Structure 1
Amino acid sequence: MSELQGLRAMVTGGASGIGLATAQLLAARGADVAVLDLDPGELPKPLHGFTADVGDDAGVRAAVAAAVAALGGLDILVNNAGIGATGTVADNPDSEWHRVLNINVLGVVRTTRAALPHLRASSNAAIVNICSIAATAGLPQRALYSASKGAVLSLTLAMAADHVREGIRVNCVNPGTVDTPWVGRLLDAAADPGAERAALNARQPHGRLVRPDEVAAAVAYLAGPLAGSTTGTTLAVDGGMAGLRLRPRGQ
């Protein structure tokens, strides 16, 4: 598949998990891809790595400028970088709320703000924000994380309205629980990792964790020219968690 041939893409948080799967799929479909990450490490070819902390505006601007220079322009921005948080509304101090919102929400703002002048010069401009099922479903012990992703969902809609007449499409993907290194660390820290994984599998109607490549496929669709009339939308990749209400097995 080569529907992204000739396009230039940037993926934040692209060195592992959903971000890496997305960067690799965009490249496989023909795009020239830059990865921005705290630690790009040794990325597989043909990905270009740039060190960036989305919590630092000056660093983001410098990394975006360097990536755009290397790519020769920019057509696609995937705002994937983010951090997790657990607990109820009472469990985290103000400092943790500021830290998570700074990365998960303002990180999207900073990267998009730096990328907009370059996206405006593209005839196939698209932004895809990685949101979460936590933005649309009440999940226990996820108050802070849910609030941050709810903000990303609202921000996506506002950005889509602001930039549609500039030819820039903005959409988001809402994954369910994805089998990523972060989820792996949560499972490892649980009192009974096996039982916790089984509970997470069962929470999604199709009975398993979402794979990173499944999220990447949704991003690639929304980023590509074939989605040219799609903007301001949310694409759930959650095994049916957002909308299905199954009866217990055997009933």
Structure 2
Amino acid sequence: MNRFTGRRVLVTGAGSGIGQATALRILAEGGSVAAADIAEAGLEKTRALAAEAGTDERLSRTVLDIADEDSVRARVDAAVEHLGGLDVLVNAAGILDSRHTGAMTLEFWNRIIGVNLTGTFLVTRQALPALLATGKGVVVNFSSTSASFAHPYMAAYAASKGGIQSFTHAIAAEYGKQGLRAVCVAPGSIDSGMTRAPGLPRDADPDLFTKLVPALGEGFAGPETVAGAIAMLASEDGAFITGTELRIDGGTHM
């Protein structure tokens, strides 16, 4: 498929996991991608994988801290200038950490909210002028099944992802008449660096996790599962989808 031929896409969190898989998927479908991540080594890995696929000529990279307003202003503007405009923004960057809620410090809470929720806002705000200029821009944000279903020890993470869902609804309504679509993916039971090391307390009760089992397959799915859904939502195949979430969890939360 070549659904992204001639389209310019910024993907945050593109140095690993779902963000990386999404950048590679869009490149494979003909798009030009600005890959952004806080980890330069991750971006180099993305470049190497794109080179193996023969798509690296349409890939640019930028080191970006989405929680830092100055970094967002400079790096997003530079990425858009390099691309020559912007058709799609994929806000995949985020962090996952866990604590007993009663033991959470304000610093811990603010770090999770600051990266996941505020970071999504900062990047979206900076990219909006370029997205609106196309008359058919798309924002794909990352929520999580934890936003709607109970995931123990993840109160800060769940709150950040619930906020992202609400933020997505708001901008979809606010800018819909200007042609902007805004959607969320809500992954769950996906094998990535975040889910392999969620930072659970040492005394975490395993019984609280017994329901978090996919109905499909034999375990967690790979990041490419979500990347394929994002490619659909961000392409013309998703042209009538906005202001909603797509849960991708293999039936974990049916």
Using the size of structure 2 for normalisation, the TM-score is 0.88
2:225 matched residue in structure 1: 214
Deviations 1:151-199 (A, max 9, x none): 11111111111111111100000000221112223499979xxxx8xx6
Structure 1 residues 72 and 189: alpha-carbon distance in aligned structure 2, compared to 1, 3 A threshold: same
Q: For 1:138 and 1:17, locate their aligned partners in 2 and report how far apart those are by CA, in whole Å.
A: 23
Structure 2 residue 203 is the aligned partner of structure 1 residue 204: no
2:12 matched residue in structure 1: 12
1:94 matched residue in structure 2: 106
2:36 matched residue in structure 1: 36
**Matching of residues 148-167 of structure 1 within 5 Å:** 148-167=160-179
Give the conservation status (yes or no) of the 8 Å contact 1:176–1:210.
no
Note the C-alpha offset of 1:26.
Answer: 0.8
Count of residue pairs the alignment pairs up? 238
Q: Tell me, what secondary structure is at the counterpart of 1:67? A: helix
Structure 2 residue 97 is the aligned partner of structure 1 residue 117: no
Q: Tell me, what secondary structure is at the counterpart of 2:15? A: coil
Letter in 2 for 1:142: M
Give the conservation status (yes or no) of the 8 Å contact 2:8–2:88.
yes
Q: Tell me, what secondary structure is at the counterpart of 2:101? A: coil
Using the size of structure 1 for normalisation, the TM-score is 0.89
Give me the CA root mean square deviation. Answer: 2.1
1:236 matched residue in structure 2: 247
Structure 2 residue 171 is the aligned partner of structure 1 residue 133: no
Q: Tell me, what secondary structure is at the counterpart of 2:9? A: strand
Q: For 1:14 and 1:189, locate their aligned partners in 2 and report how far apart those are by CA, in whole Å.
A: 28
Letter in 2 for 1:16: S
2:53 matched residue in structure 1: none
Structure 1 residues 139 and 74: alpha-carbon distance in aligned structure 2, compared to 1, 3 A threshold: same
Q: Tell me, what secondary structure is at the counterpart of 1:163? A: helix
Give the conservation status (yes or no) of the 8 Å contact 1:177–1:200.
no
Q: Tell me, what secondary structure is at the counterpart of 2:189? A: coil
Unaligned stretches of 5+ residues in structure 2 = 51-55
